Structures are given as structure tokens and as C-alpha cells.
Amino acid sequence: MATHHPEHPASKPFILFSTGATSYELVRFLGPRGPGEMLLARRHYADTPGDLVVIKRLQDAGDAQGRARLREEVKLLMQLSHPAIAQVFLVRVHEGSPHLVMEYVEGHSLETLTSFAALRRRPFSEAFGAYVGAEVADALHHAHTLEDARGQPLGIVHRDVSPRTLRLDVHGRVKLADFAMAWAKLPGRVGTEGHVVRGDLAYASPEALMRRPLDGRSDLFSLGVVLLELLTGLHLLDLEDVERAALATGPLPEAESLLAEVPSWLPAPMMAARMACLTPEHVERATQGLSGSMRAILGRLLRREPSERFQSGLELRDALRGVLAGLGYTYGPREAEREAAQVRRDARSRRRSADVLRWEDSAPPHSHRPASTPES
């Protein structure tokens, strides 16, 4: 999306738009995200500075598809109400572009935190992974089971559960954001072209990569990829065994025309080829350093067939909370915030102590994927 970023003196606030007595001052651009870009803004109430918000500016909704997508997203977001799901406050069309005003989650994305963990050469604890996973699983259960006013399931699938859409706030609370990629059985919803995969390809489920029907179990697979990365520093589709198997097998004819709506570190057909080669043995080897209970959870989550996975977010949440209960000590938001802070300190200490150390020298093995900076 071609956007002309306004230039203005630092001393003079730039007001994006106003709604009644409330105006929204641009603080900074956060970068592109899916079919739009993210902005950080501050709300002003009758010229009194208020809190920070995130504004998602979508592509120009001048055509019917853009308007339908906007309506779909807003309907979804307005119906979601869960402490681990970032809120949406309002939508405003300004200069032809829809702007969604959403909750600002002060803290770090899991993408940033995994980059810090890679820099210090040690992943997060199982307690951290179990805590984050249980919170996200509970949020996904809420979304997956949401019903309309007549009691009919909406069939929501997030489709973009990834480190970039998950955040840990300054109090250690987990937030799942950006349902802009979501699918639901809403009247008038816009279908994605048959050969286009929505969301981050690197965390897509096998059925998403093969453009098959999706349900909530697709999101649970994506969460499994996130947890594997948090706990081992390894990415599922960057495992050496998986890469070698895909090279030996070659591309899948049915995936040759596959495209990604969001650019990723490998073309979509290559991602699909690697996923087609994934076996339980690959996951077993990748998780060999973890406890038996966590290995069992990841082994079940990362099955290619949805019927072999956890069948609901509730089931996964309870399994992960079982891991936490077996620790012999309490692990919650406070402990998660402390661990994240320690990971950041360790990473920065390692950078300072190195004679010559560039950020890209310390990226994870799949560093050809776009990595966040420590401030995202």
C-alpha cells in the first residue's frame, strides 16, 4: 500500500482525525501489517492528552471488497470479549481509508522476546511457555466458540496466530491481537482467493498451506509452532531434517500456484513442500530436551492431521495448566514478566560484552525470516 507519511515539526502534534471531542495524534508508524499498516497514536479528550492506542489503517475501502472486509473485521472484533484479546474501540473511515482504533498493549511482542532469547543463546522456560500457551488457548477457545444472537456458531478462525500477533504486557499478561486475518461464517463475508494463504506462512497449519477448510484446530497448530520456538529456539519448518526431506521430495504440483498475502521468509510452495514432509519423528527430535509432559503436548499439537491434535482450545488450555500445576510453585503474570525482563537483560549484556557483535550475527537459525527489533 503506497502511503505518504506526513512530515511535520516535532513541536506540533499531527492529528490523524477527530471523532466528536476526541482527536487522535500520530506518535509513530509501527510498520506494515497484512492488508494495511499499524500506527501508534495518543487520544486527546477536548485537548487533554489521554492514553495510547494502536490504529490499524487498512487499504482504501473504495471498492466493494474493501468495504466488505472492513464490515467483517469490525463485526468480529466487536463481538470478542476476553482478557487475553486486545480490544477494538471504534472504526473510522478517514480520507477513504478505514482506521480501526484498538487497545495499545504496552510491552513486547513474542517476536521480539524470541529474538532476545536467541541473542542470549537460551530459550524460555517450560513454565513461561505453558503459561503463555494456556492464556492464548483460552482466548482462542472464546473466539472459536463465539455464537451470534441466534445461538449459531460464528466459526471464527484467527488464521494468524504468530509471535507477531502475541504480546506480553508490562504486567506479564498475554494478549492476542489482530483478528484482521480471521475467517468466520458471517453474512456477506469476503472469501480469500483460492490460491492465497492469509496470515504468516511460517506459522500456518498444513491445511491452510493446502487451502483446505479450516477450523479452530488450525489455530492450535499455529500456537504449537510458536511454543516450539519459545521453548527450543527452533522453527518447525527450518528443522534440518525437514528441509532435507523437502529437497529430496521436490515441490508439490498442487501447491505451485500458492501465494502468500503476507510476505514470508520462504515462498509459499516451498513452505507447503516442507510441511508435507513433516513427521512426528521430526517433532520428537526437536523437543528431546523438554519434559515428557511438554513433549507430549507439542507432539500432539504439531500433527499434520487435525483429527490427531487437541480438538479445542479448552482441552489444550487444561493440558498446559496441568504442566503449570505440576511445577510445585506458582507461575503467573508476575513470574512471566520477571522472566521476560531477565531474558532482555541477558541479551543486552551479551551484546555489550561482545567485541564485535551485530544483531544479525545472533539471530536464530531461521534468520532469513524477517526479525523484529528489540523495540517492536
* Spatial separation of the C-alpha atoms in residues 86 and 80, rounded to whole Å: 9
Specify the range with the lowest mean pLDDT, choosing from 80-84, 123-127, 133-137, 337-341. Answer: 80-84
Mean pLDDT for 204-209 is 94
Helix axes 240-249, 268-277, angle to 10 degrees: 100
Backbone angles phi, psi at 49, to 5 degrees: -60, 135
Highest mean pLDDT among 11-15, 45-49, 163-167: 163-167
Say yes or no to pLDDT of 337 above 70.
yes
Tell whether the model's pLDDT for residue 105 goes beyond 80.
yes
In a domain, 361, yes or no: no
Q: Which residues pair with 36 in a beta bridge?
A: 58
Is residue 161 located within the same domain as residue 197?
yes
Domain match, 170 and 294 both: yes
Question: In the chain, pLDDT over 70 holds for what percent of residues?
Answer: 83
Candidate from 59-73, 142-156, 251-265 with smallest mean pLDDT: 59-73
The dihedral region occupied by 201, where left means phi > 0, alpha psi between -120 and 50, and beta the remainder, is: alpha
CATH number for position 286: 1.10.510.10
The pLDDT of residue 89 is 86
**pLDDT value of residue 354:** 66
Q: Are residues 56 and 178 in the same domain?
A: no
CB neighbour list of residue 225: distance below 8 Å, 6 or more residues apart: 202, 203, 235, 236, 302
The answer to the question of residue 4 being in a domain is no
Considering only residues 20 and 300, tell me which one the structure prediction assigns the higher pLDDT. Answer: 300
Q: What mean pLDDT comes out for the span 52-68?
A: 75
Is position 351 within any domain?
A: no
**Domain of residue 75, CATH code:** 3.30.200.20
Taking all residues of the chain, what is their mean pLDDT, rounded to a whole number? 85
Reply yes or no on whether the pLDDT at 273 is more than 80. yes
What SS3 state is found at 203? helix
Does 344 reside within a domain?
A: no
Distances (CA, A) of 269 to 11, 188, 224, 305: 49, 30, 21, 19
Residue 362 lies in a domain: no
pLDDT in tens, 14-40: 999 998 889 999 999 988 876 678 899
Measured CA to CA, the distance from residue 114 to residue 122 in angstroms comes to 10
In whole angstroms, what is the distance from residue 289 CA to residue 282 CA? 13
* pTM (2 d.p.): 0.86
Domain assignment present for 346: no
Given 103, 121, 147, the domain boundary residue is 103
Whether residue 178 is found in the same domain as residue 238? yes
In this structure, the answer to whether residues 130 and 275 fall within a common structural domain is yes
Section 92-109 average pLDDT: 87
pLDDT score recorded for residue 194: 60
d(CA 256, CA 270): 9
Tens-digit pLDDT profile for residues 228-256: 999 999 999 999 999 999 999 888 887 77
pLDDT in tens, 210-235: 889 999 999 999 999 999 999 999 99
Read off the C-alpha cell for 189. Answer: 463475508
Q: How many domains does the chain have?
A: 2
Report pLDDT digits (tens) over 365-375.
443 354 444 44
The backbone region for 107, taken as left when phi is positive above 0, alpha when psi lies in -120 to 50, beta otherwise, is: left
Residue 273 lies in a domain: yes
Task: Please give the average per-residue pLDDT across 332-337, as a whole number.
Answer: 98
- Phi and psi dihedrals of 26, rounded to 5? -65, 130
Residue 61 and residue 158 in one domain: no
pLDDT score recorded for residue 69? 65
User: Can you give the residue range of the structural domain that contains 150?
Assistant: 107-333
119 and 91 within one domain: no
Last residue of a domain, one of 76, 103, 130: 103
Q: How far apart are CA 227 and CA 125, in angstroms?
A: 11
* Residues 228 and 163 grouped into a single domain: yes
Considering the domain architecture, whether residues 43 and 115 belong to the same structural domain is answered as no
Residue 170 lies in a domain: yes
Residue 250 shares a structural domain with residue 175:
yes
Domain end residue (candidates: 50, 78, 103):
103
Quick check: 7 pLDDT over 60? no
Does residue 76 sit in the same domain as residue 194? no
Same domain, 114 and 95: no
